[in-house]
Chain A
Amino acid sequence: MDDFEEIEGLRQGNERSFHKLLDIYSENIYNLCLSILQNQEDAEDTTQEVFSTVFLSIKEFKGESKLSTWMYRITVNKCQEHIRKKNRKKRFGFLTSIENSENAQLSPSFLHPGVELENKERASILFSAIDRLPENQKIAFTLHKIEGIAYEDVAIAMDLSLSSVESLMFRAKQNLKKSLGDYYEKNER
């Protein structure tokens, strides 16, 4: 069932097994954090938190799902914690009401380092629109559409049913099309 052969070594706190885990998964987890958090520093910090949690909690991993899916679940939880912490801080900020207002325009600012130059600007607009989505829609869309994770694994990672994920994806697409449409009306015409 599993995709990583050194789980036993990890359970015993073996450093070599942990380095092997890093070789295989560190890039995936970092990219996932980067797409969800849209900030390189935050993504690095969260990646470190994820691997610390994996190292400490590997004994609790029962092997009912793939190790990668279990790690996605930890990543999603850590990213959600990070987003909530950030939002809590923002609430005290002066510009919160303007920034969070639904009518506020998209403000593309995040340039994903993995996107080709010709698509950078559009991807930045898309990321800005994704950032405006409700948390669950944002995470489902990022996991599936941006990171290419299968619906089944997204459902496990988010602790939701498959149909809930499908519904989240449908609503996310609708909302994105709407905010991109509004952006087009105001800026691209």
Chain B
Amino acid sequence: METKQDQWINETMKSMDSKKAVGISDRLRQRLELIPNEVSVYNVVIPMRSVYLAAASFALLITINLLAIKNNTQQHKAETNLETEYFSYLNQL
């Protein structure tokens, strides 16, 4: 048998069953209607100068990294040569 508590819980669980859809306010409708303009304006507003600047920064960053790698490799080669020469000298002794 359903207790008073069960009945209360069931009624509370069903309290949203007759809910009606809430209409949007005029203010929100206006905000939503502005989206295409705002999004388009936002797209146009990005200056090409910034785009070129960003691209140049990336290019510079990559160049510096490549130079650093190249330098590092040359230095490593020189060290290896030195070591080889030293060990061959030791072997001769």
Contacts and interface: CB of A to CB of B under 8 A. Distances in A.
A150 to B, nearest CB: 16
Contacts of A52: 35, 38-39
A121 B39 CA distance: 41
Residue among B8, B15, B21, B23 with the highest chain A CB neighbour number at 10 A:
B15
A31 B22 contact: yes
A114 B36 contact: no
Given A26-B24, A126-B16, A13 B40 contact: yes
A166 interface: no
Interface of B: 5, 8-9, 11-13, 15-16, 18-25, 27-29, 31-33, 35-36, 38-40
Contact of B16 (A22, A34, A146): A146
A48 B31 contact: yes
Interface stretch (A77-85, A152-160, A173-181): A173-181
B25 A44 contact: yes
A38 interface: no
Contacts of B39: 52, 55-56
Q: A-side binding surface: helix, strand, loop or mixed? A: helix
A51 to B, nearest CB: 5
B13 A44 contact: no
Interface residues of B: mostly helix, strand, loop or mixed?
Answer: helix
A27 interface: yes
Given A31-B22, A44-B25, A184-B8, A177 B13 contact: yes
Interface in A5-30: 13, 15, 18-19, 22, 26-28, 30
Contacts of A122: 11-12, 15
A188 interface: yes
Contacts of A55: 35-36, 39
Contacts of A176: 13
Contacts of B33: 19, 22
Contact of A18 (B13, B24, B36): B36
A126 B24 contact: no
Contacts of A177: 9, 13
